[in-house]
Structure 1
């Protein structure tokens, strides 16, 4: 892993920066406001987003990716789908996960990894937040304490409280919870130079790694943002595009060798390669996946 020594943000000794965290279903990131602009802080791999995935190892946890194919069964991802929910309300979702989810004594979902590890969705989120916190502290040489965290506009009070709990577990002080559509409207500087003061409404599309949301956001004459209406699909996002690429590869292999059966490790490797392809196809017209090298 590369370190972050070549990336740093300097703050005066008396400055107390406030950090913004996007705790996403599929990917998360942390940013800070400095000299009139938002700076997104890279992780140890020099990426500006960190997969919201936690792998349990015998000697600790790994955030952001699995540590090789032998540990894919010990990796928890998409935990945000379950945060602040009851087991009964997400029971239909469980069939999409490759890991085991149980119900505790008061009906909350709980991840069970092997015979040794158990964790609630809030605890998984806290581990991701702690990883983001450490990366930011390394780059700024400042304690990351005060934060603003984004949440989906459709989150209810219980889900909001669960997000707050995850932050407290990560020893973060949440100054404000802001909905993702409002964050998007603010981040892209809507009306920044418009010179208008009457109330306006805008439509925000938020296509993430795991969910797709749309929202009507009104901005009043004072500049305050208000979410008026939301809708979306909680299972449509970049992960669905990835699934389509994987299905395409599996069908091509089946057409070439109908008797070949992919092992779990091969599927894991294929998923990693297809993820690379998905990202590459955002900028390129083609990408080659060497499926035969995974056998």
Structure 2
């Protein structure tokens, strides 16, 4: 991957998440997460299609209840994977949008867009989110952005990492590096601490996201100055299919089982609007908070 020259302008860091994404830039000796056009530093990793337009981020989420089959989310769980993979087959059962098998067993996302049936590869959807991140940075910095570093889960395989690079290229970005998510967090922590202390530190980064869970143990040695600091990865562990979305999926499965138990023959598994209502983000968040509150209260 090519290195950036000073004439290329600033490089940005992008956290391309399962549920949310964000973009940051290094300015004034610190990392700065950039707010989007809604004033939020986190942008939903969601893309929606209609008869007239394509929507990304909050705009896509806001119309999801009325357009569930053409509102795409959690696409990070498809990127670089095979359609026949067990995890993909489990996810497909819970998504309101359609995923079909394409050539070479690639998952293809089926939508209605501008009056036509269209198929998109997962990396194409991811590229649309990356374009949103690039444009967010360009508006804030007032200049074109060509270079980026993109984070991925620790246990992303080569196929998933390459698909992420491809998504970046489609979004008009030169992906300078692919870096593990907890390592990126440790770097941010280390760079901040090195400015106030020259002590060696051992850091455990616990990263439980929307779709993945990563843990990294690192040694941070500031050296004689920040430019010579050393970051050594001691150990890593993770699960590319364990995160907030999985907690949500388990709650949806529980609700479906309870509905079937109480109402017998009525089956809502194929009712996309019902599934979307079960996946309502506000309701799921409140339920999870209630569980945490009660568990904490009893301990």
- Under a length normalisation based on structure 1, what TM-score does the superposition of the two structures give? 0.76
Residue 156 of structure 1 corresponds to 157
| Structural mapping, 1:119-268, within 5 Å | 119-189=120-190, 192=194, 193-196=196-199, 201-219=202-220, 222-243=228-249, 264-265=272-273, 267-268=275-276
In the alignment, does 2:111 pair up with 1:118? no
What does residue range 64-143 of structure 1 map to in structure 2 within 5 Å?
64=57, 65-66=60-61, 67-89=63-85, 90-93=87-90, 94-114=92-112, 116-143=117-144
- Do 1:242 and 1:278's aligned partners in 2 also have CA atoms closer than 8 Å? no
Q: Which residue of 2 aligns with 1:8?
A: none
Task: Give the root-mean-square deviation of aligned CA atoms.
Answer: 3.3
1:5 paired residue number? none
Selected match of 1:25 from 18, 21, 35: 18
Structure 1: segments with no counterpart, 5+ residues: 1-13, 287-295
1:290 maps to none
Task: Report the alpha carbon displacement of residue 141 of structure 1 after superposing the two structures with TM.
Answer: 1.5
Native 8 Å contact 2:94 2:249 kept in 1: no
1:246-276 deviation per Cα after TM superposition (whole angstroms, max 9, x unaligned): 6788899999x97999864355345143256
Q: Where is the helix percentage greater, Structure 1 or Structure 2?
A: 2
Greater relative contact order (Cα 8 A, min sep 6): structure 1 or 2? 2
TM-score (norm 2): 0.75
Q: Tell me, what secondary structure is at the counterpart of 1:110?
A: strand
Q: Which moved more, 1:260-269 or 1:151-160?
A: 260-269
Distance 1:48 1:161, change over 3 A: same
- Matched-pair contact (CA < 8 Å) for 1:56–1:62: yes
The 1:233–1:155 alpha-carbon spacing in structure 2 relative to 1, beyond 3 Å, is: closer
In 1, Cα distance between equivalents of 2:38 and 2:124:
23
Q: Give the aligned partner of residue 11 of structure 1.
A: none
The DSSP-based 3-state class of the residue aligned with 1:30 is strand
Q: Which residue in the other structure is 1:289 paired with? A: none
Deviation at 1:92, TM superposition (A): 3.7
- Are 1:241 and 1:278, in contact at CA under 8 Å, matched by a contact in 2? no
Are 2:52 and 1:59 aligned?
Answer: yes
The answer to whether the 8 A contact 1:181-1:215 is kept is yes
Matches of 1:154 and 1:218, distance apart in 2? 20
